[in-house]
Every structure is written in C-alpha cells, then in structure tokens.
Structure 1
C-alpha cells in the first residue's frame, strides 16, 4: 500500500486507485477521501445538490418499472423531433400517430386501456414506418411518462429529460 501524508494529492491518488475497484462496491476499512480546503477543487454546491436530487428520482423510476432510462439527448434526432410534436399536439406525419397503444406485450407499467398512445419515430431510408416508436401515457402525454422503442415494442426505455 502507498504511504503518504494526508495531502490533497495523496487523497486524489488513493481515490483513483480505489475507483478502479468499481464505483458501487463497498470499500470496508478504507477511509473515504477528505474534501480539500481549496474552493477551486470543490464542485459548485448547486451541481452537487442537483445530482443528489435528480439521481434518486431517476433511480426510483427505473426500479419502479424495471426499465432502463434514456435521456432525450441520447435519443436519435428524429425521436427528439417526435417528442416536440407530441408536446405540441401535432400535426403528425403518419396516420396512425396518436392511436391507442394496447400494451399487449405488458412491458410498460399497467394502466387501463386508452392510457397509452403510440407515435412513429421516422427511420432514415425506411420505406415504411420503421420499427422505432415513442409511447406516451396519460391525458397530457408528458415526457415523464413516455417510452422509446427502437425494435417495434420488443423492448422499451423510459425517456428522461
């Protein structure tokens, strides 16, 4: 093990070494790095607070329905454009956009029939509607209850903003 004084560089070196073990593994018997007294080394308080508030909320959603999360920025640009159309209430380019999605696959959280509606995400160079869809639930179809499928309903990811 490395011997050194309790300096910031030593703590950073230890955290890098320990970080290689895996972020989620418990590190029993190893003291946690002490924050530096230097204000330049500490992240802004707002960023830390946002991370503490946002992460548990997203994790709770993921655990609640068992679906992975995908952020809007990670979606194809056509999916982001479809989300904007959904929020605006249309007009939609495909006749079937906005029809009731039956959730026959039972991959989405259960709700009464009529809760979910499906929308086409255009696929470049496809001659038909393609396999990509966004399914949104609720009366206002808010992004918090929208899901993305790029394999024609075989799997879904919850869309997070």
Structure 2
C-alpha cells in the first residue's frame, strides 16, 4: 500500500467501525435498572398506553419463576447484555400487532426463547420495554403476559 493511500484506508476503516458500533448500540438498548412491575396480561388487539393496573400474580400476568427455564435463561442473558444465541436477538420489536401498550420508536426489543426440539427460532419470545418491563409470548406475538419479577 502506498503512503498516499494509507490515511484514506484508515479513515474509511474507522468510519465503518464507528457506524457499526452506533448501529449495534441502537439495536441493543438495555435499560439501566429494572423497576418492579405488577403482573398484567396484555392480550387485546389494542392495549391502552400509560400505567397499567397492578393485579397480583395469577390475575393475568405471569410470575418470572413460573416461566419455562429457557425463558428464565433468556431473561438472565438480557440482564447480562448477552451473548445471545440468535443474531436477531435484541432487535427492535415494532409492536405492529398493537398488543403491547403503544410506545414511540424503538421502545421494545425482542429476544428468542430457545424451544427444545425446534428446528428454527420457534414461537417463544421475551419482549422488553424501555422502562424495564418484560413481556412473555409463547405464540409468536398472538398474546403477551407481563412478567412479574417479584415472584
């Protein structure tokens, strides 16, 4: 490589590295803290935005300890920031179905919950919200349950 090209190549490599780091950071939004959240099922086709009622466990939500072990493993990986088993883990969940409370932009992110025996990613996911809430779906977004971390 000639001395004239070296600074150009270095600048291009640095620009690509910065762009990739920024894209990675935007796609991996992790809440700093996980506030306690009441258990509430979110299964309607249009859930209302804003704070939800906080019924106790067994009234529509799901206790974290009652989730399958693979879902608990996924939640632990989310708390650690990875590494995740699938390349698409951590991508923005757009809530196109409208089954979660309406939020702006890249508020929700989805993570695969491994399904034993499945030849693909399967239908199970944990979807996280920007305020630290976690939602469980075992039917590929047809319904969600708010995960209660207190039990």
Shorter chain as denominator, the TM-score bin is 0.5 to 0.7
- 2:129 matches 1:137: yes
Shift, 1:116, TM fit: 0.1
Residues 20-71 of structure 1 deviation map (CA, whole Å, 9 limit, x = unaligned): xxxxxxxxxxxxxxxxxxxxxxxxxxxxxxxxxx9xx547235xxxx92100
Q: Which has the higher helix share?
A: 1
Match of 1:150 in 2: 138
Give, in whole Å, the separation in 2 of the partners of 1:109 and 1:68: 15
Match of 2:54 in 1: 61
Match of 2:74 in 1: 82
Match of 1:109 in 2: 101
Superposed, 1:15-30 pairs within 5 Å as none
Distance verdict in 2 for CA 1:74–1:95, change over 3 Å: same
- 2:141 matches 1:159: no
Superposed, 1:89-100 pairs within 5 Å as 89-100=81-92
SS in 2 for 1:68: coil
Larger Rg: 1
* Count of residue correspondences: 99
Match of 2:11 in 1: none
**Greater relative CO (CA pairs within 8 A, separation 6+):** 2
Q: Kindly report structure 1 stretches of 4+ aligned residues shifted beyond 2 Å.
A: 57-62
